[in-house]
Amino acid sequence: MITITAFKWVPPFARGLVRDLRVRWALEEAGLPYRARLIGPDDQKSADYRAWQPFGQVPAYEEDGLVLFESGAIVLHIGARSEALLPADEAGRARAVTWLLAALNSIEVKIQQLVEIDLFNADQEWAKVRRPVVEQAVQRRLADLAARLGERAYLDDRLTSCDLLLSSVLSMMQNTAMPEAASHFKSNHDRSEARPAFQRALHDQMAAFEER
């Protein structure tokens, strides 16, 4: 049985955005059963958990002695077991991996900087100085993405793991002062999140928070 880690509780702004949701979604799309090990701050600091996840974050993944961490790496691992997430042909798979890494390395890192300013540091003087530069970088990345995506439903000819990661990354814009910046991608985002696999993943993540 696959085990993934997730938080017992997070504040409202983080619900539906914690990165175990990416892994839950991928597992649902792949039709692979799993269970969630819910952890709290004390678990994150423990030697036992650090053996799973060296940085104390979520998610971590374990199956038959194989332990993985980092949501992108885990989604890639799941994708290798399911053509629903990664195409069988070599070229299609390479394109999907390229865009999965682009979602995390070219887009998420920019959006995350803006989230950290707007959500946690908006009243700090350094943040007021830095924010215009960060906002411009986000706008450029989103413009480049919009140019590439155009009117396409997905980044390739069908949904793959890169679309899951991109949808998750763009969801982070809701925690910035400019959520409308991602409006160009709304139809793609809505289409992805309407999928039954996403809805099951979201329900399971939110259920843990609601119980507490």
- Residue 78: is its pLDDT beyond 90? yes
The mean pLDDT value of the chain amounts to: 96
Question: For 106, which DSSP code?
Answer: I
Show Cβ contacts of residue 185 under 8 Å, excluding neighbours closer than 6 positions: 142, 145, 146, 149, 170
- Residue 212: is its pLDDT beyond 80? no
Arithmetic mean of pLDDT, 2-11: 97
pLDDT at 211: 77
Architecture in CATH of 90-193: Up-down Bundle (1.20)
DSSP reduced 3-state for 16? coil
| Sheet of 34-39, strand order | 34-39, 2-7, 60-63, 66-69
Tens digits of per-residue pLDDT, 108-143? Answer: 999 999 999 999 999 999 999 999 999 999 999 999
Q: Report residue 178's pLDDT band, with 50, 70 and 90 as the boundaries.
A: very high
Give the domain ranges of the chain.
2-84+196-211, 90-193
Q: Is the CATH code 3.30.559.30 the one for domain 2-84+196-211?
A: no
- Residue 7: is its pLDDT beyond 80? yes
How far apart CA 88 and CA 158 sit, in angstroms, is 13
